[in-house]
Every structure is written in structure tokens, then in C-alpha cells.
Amino acid sequence: MFFWLKAFLSGLTIALVSSLARRYPGFGALIASLPLISVFGMIWLWLETKDPARMEAHVGATFWYVLPSLPMFLLIPCAMRQGMPFWLALLAGCGVTILLYLGMVWLAPKLGIRM
């Protein structure tokens, strides 16, 4: 039952953001930029485990994984301004993000960062 509650609330949040963005792109972007999924993830993890060490590891790793995802939000609109179709720009943004994630996974241990 808890799984379905989590799925419903998380899905409702995504639906709300996309609906808002249709009418108010800037406001939709503001809501989308909030770490709502991360906050939901932290709440669900805490309710399920109440484990401070696991939460600390999760939140710390989330910070480091956010960094390589940020360039995607510059690449996609830049590519579209240059005439690239949305789906191709999205694919390129996701591809760059995957490469940056792999780079972070490789680099983090060398810098003493636990993921």
C-alpha cells in the first residue's frame, strides 16, 4: 500500500509540473527545479528505514549526482535554438549527462568522495 501512495504522490507532482509549465513555462520551470523528487525520496527512505547513516549517504551522493546533470539544462535549449529538433536535443542532453555521470563515478573515489 505504501508503494502505491508513493507512486501516486510522485506521479501527481510530475503531472502538476507539466500542467503548470504548459500555461506558465517560467513557473513550471521553478517548480521543476525544486528538488521535489529528492525530498520525496528522502521522506520515503526515512519512513521506511529511519537509518541516519543511510540517509546521510543518500543525501550526500545525491548532491554529487546533481552536478553532472546540470549541463543538460543548458545544452537542450542551446541545441534547440540552433535548430535541432526537440527529441534529438533531448537525446544529446541525456547522452552528455550519462557521460558526465560516468565521469563522476570514476572521479569521485579519486577525490575521496563516497557515492
Q: Where are the domains of the chain?
A: 1-50, 51-115
Contacts of 68 (CB under 8 A, 6+ apart): 97, 100, 101, 103, 104
Contacts of 17 (CB under 8 A, 6+ apart): 28, 31, 32
Q: What share of the chain is helix, strand, coil (3-state, %, to 5)?
A: 85, 0, 15
Q: Are 84 and 75 in contact (CB under 8 A)?
A: no
Q: For residue range 74-84, what is the model confidence (pLDDT) as tens digits?
A: 999 999 999 99
Q: Are 22 and 9 in contact (CB under 8 A)?
A: no
Predicted pLDDT at 28: 85
Q: Are 68 and 103 in contact (CB under 8 A)?
A: yes
Predicted pLDDT at 29: 84
Predicted pLDDT at 10: 82
Predicted pLDDT at 50: 97
- Residue ranges, the chain, pLDDT below 50: none
Predicted pLDDT at 89: 98
